[in-house]
């Protein structure tokens, strides 16, 4: 059975970095990938765009292909979205199907601050995606927890439901939503850092452009 890979984030806004690495991860693992927007991320300040606006952007970005899909379950939950709760729910839903939580190397480096992070390995594999230009320092405790779980063989991930960690080497793209918000707020037009669909409807990027208005 094809693994189901989950790629969570604020997607504020979704950018070419997210799409490209999710696409390549899907190829490397031969997995279906779901993009899963978070409502109130426990680790950071509130997003600039509302949940509805971020979903609209995701829909526009994902149009025209079917390998990457959208899963809005975390937006339907009230309060902070803890990844472990979501993964446990998905595990119930999908039985023994391999699940892979995709994390950029920066997000993976911060894993120890996540709610019940060690329990994640009971319900999911983790796919770590290289990301340039960000802090990816890993603590000794994290490395120790991960060492016995490492594999570099996607077929191992496909043959077990959970518990392994695989580094996924994708084309490095130094793009962040923070930088895109800065460019839009400064009145710039970061056209080729964002999916083309986001420019079809001017209201989609309005929340960021308005940041510069008095």
Q: Phi, psi (5° rounding) for residue 137? A: -65, 130
Q: Which is nearer to ligand ATP, 10 or 81 (CB)?
A: 10
The least CB distance from residue 96 to ligand ATP, in Å, is: 25
Binding site for ligand ATP (CB under 6 A): 9-12, 17-18, 21, 103-104, 106-107, 129, 131, 173, 175-178
The least CB distance from residue 95 to ligand ATP, in Å, is: 26
> Do 38 and 9 contact (CB within 8 A), yes or no?
yes
Q: Which is nearer to ligand ATP, 96 or 136 (CB)?
A: 136
Q: CA Rg, the chain, in Å?
A: 17
Q: Which is nearer to ligand ATP, 104 or 154 (CB)?
A: 104
C-alpha triplet 145, 151, 103: angle, nearest 5°: 65
CA-CA distance, 178 to 13, in Å (whole number)? 9
Question: Biggest alpha carbon distance in the chain?
Answer: 55
Q: Which is nearer to ligand ATP, 96 or 196 (CB)?
A: 196
The least CB distance from residue 209 to ligand ATP, in Å, is: 16
The least CB distance from residue 183 to ligand ATP, in Å, is: 12
The least CB distance from residue 69 to ligand ATP, in Å, is: 16
How does strand 32-37 pair with strand 99-104?
A: unpaired
Neighbours of 179 (CB within 10 A): 15
Q: Which is nearer to ligand ATP, 104 or 190 (CB)?
A: 104
């Amino acid at each position: 059975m094809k693994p189901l890979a989950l790629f969570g984030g604020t997607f504020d806004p979704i950018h070419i970095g997210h799409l490209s690495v999710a696409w390549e991860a899907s190829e490397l693992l031969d997995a279906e990938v779901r993009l899963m927007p978070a409502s109130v991320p426990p680790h950071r300040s509130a997003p600039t765009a509302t949940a509805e606006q971020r979903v609209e952007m995701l829909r526009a970005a994902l149009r025209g292909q079917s390998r990457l899909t959208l899963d809005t379950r975390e937006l339907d939950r009230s309060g902070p979205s803890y990844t472990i709760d979501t993964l446990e729910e998905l595990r119930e839903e999908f039985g023994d199907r391999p699940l892979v939580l995709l994390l950029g190397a920066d997000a993976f480096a911060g894993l120890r601050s996540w709610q019940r992070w060690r329990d994640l390995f009971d319900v999911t594999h983790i796919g770590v995606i290289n990301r340039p230009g960000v802090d990816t320092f890993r603590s000794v405790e994290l490395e120790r927890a991960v060492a016995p779980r490492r594999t570099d063989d996607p077929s191992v991930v496909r043959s077990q439901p959970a518990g392994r960690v695989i580094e996924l080497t994708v084309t490095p793209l130094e793009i962040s939503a923070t930088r895109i918000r800065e460019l839009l707020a400064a009145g710039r037009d970061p056209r080729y850092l964002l999916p083309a669909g986001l420019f079809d409807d001017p209201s989609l990027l309005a929340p960021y452009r308005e940041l510069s208005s008095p």
